Amino acid sequence: MTHIQVKQMLGRGRSFAGRDWWYDFRALPQFTKDAEVKARSGDLMRQFSTLTKNWNSDLNSEWVVRHFFAVKMVLGSSVMAQSLRYAEANNLRPVVSYLSYYTVMHALRAILFTSPQARWNDGEILQTTHTKTINVACDAIAHLNKDLANQVKASTLHLKAFRELISYRAPSSGDNFEKPDFDVYAYCRLFLEIAQMQSELLEASIQKNVTEAFELDQNFTQHVYDVEMDGVSFFDREDWHRIGYLARKHPAPLNILHMMSDGHVEDFFGSWCGEDDDPAAFNPDNDWRILFDVP
């Protein structure tokens, strides 16, 4: 029995905004109203139905890869957030602007990858610019709370500018400048829950409209583990193993929570652990659930 089957057998998390969900949302009810989530869910189901009623091998492989990248954004954002908390607690102020911004960007990219508004375009979605990522994610947030979306966009752009100030201008005043009134931890939990919501709705649409099974196409899955950055190639053996497991055991899109295996979560955080047991060193195992209730 796979970890996916076990999680499905354990049942849904809770009822919220007129639907049953696998995930027990904590931030969405705080930042949005039930009526807004209910309306947005209906709108997303209609958008996803245009995909799932015409489902094929390419779409199946594309969305497995997109959700897998969303999983990695959840985990990556959580590592960044723990690093940020450690930096704040230990006066590592030169890196706080970087960690703040990229914690947010990882979380916003999870929204991008699970959004029906974002096109695959032969994998170009993986190179989406920061500006477009912010725009797509904030558009998704605006459907739930327009004022909040405006605040998120302004604050994220402020974080971006502040990160560039520290990185490129080396100000003699250090980081003693105005910073946005923006709780990175609370807002990033919201962003990741929006991504989870979108992933659950696609899965629900697939269950409703798709009857045929497909194998995963390596032309899509290779984007996960074969990476080229500025002419330099990287092969991620761990990602190759994880996407290979899905190809064998469940070659169809799953919601973010269920796509995560316990082993993947443990190994992802563990890959950033130190080689010794120095109690003063950064330990990414301290708070896996800092932003998202991972398995």
191-243 confidence digits (pLDDT tens): 999 999 999 999 999 999 999 999 999 999 999 999 999 999 999 999 999 99
Question: Across residues 128-138, what is the average pLDDT?
Answer: 98
Is the predicted pLDDT of residue 30 greater than 80, yes or no?
yes
Tell me the pLDDT of the chain averaged across its residues: 96
Q: Which residue has the tokens 């003699």?
A: 172
Check residue 277 and give its pLDDT: 83
pLDDT band at 278 (very low <50, low <70, confident <90, very high): confident
Residue 219 makes CB contacts below 8 A (sequence gap 6+) with 61
Check residue 4 and give its pLDDT: 80
Is the predicted pLDDT of residue 11 greater than 80, yes or no?
no
Count of CB atoms situated within 10 Å of the CB of 140: 25
pLDDT band at 12 (very low <50, low <70, confident <90, very high): low
Is the predicted pLDDT of residue 3 greater than 90, yes or no?
no
Element (H, E) at 127: none
- Distance, in Å, from the CA atom of 241 to the CA atom of 221, rounded to the nearest integer, reads 11
- Distance, in Å, from the CA atom of 167 to the CA atom of 98, rounded to the nearest integer, reads 8
Residue 1 makes CB contacts below 8 A (sequence gap 6+) with none
- Distance, in Å, from the CA atom of 73 to the CA atom of 79, rounded to the nearest integer, reads 10
Could you tell me the pTM of the whole model?
0.96
In the beta sheet, which residues pair with residue 14? 21
213 contacts 41 by C-beta, under 8 angstroms? no
DSSP one-letter string for 189-236: HHHHHHHHHHHHHHHHHHHHH-----PPPHHHHHHHHEEEETTEEEE-
Count of all residues that appear for the chain in the document: 295
236-269 confidence digits (pLDDT tens): 999 999 999 999 999 999 999 999 999 999 999 9
Is the predicted pLDDT of residue 276 greater than 70, yes or no?
yes
87-121 confidence digits (pLDDT tens): 999 999 999 999 999 999 999 999 999 999 999 99
Residue 251 makes CB contacts below 8 A (sequence gap 6+) with 60, 64, 213, 214, 215, 216
| Dihedral sign of CA atoms 145, 148, 152, 154 in order | positive
5-9, 68-72, 74-78, 151-155: least confident range: 5-9
Pairing of strands 19-21, 14-16: antiparallel
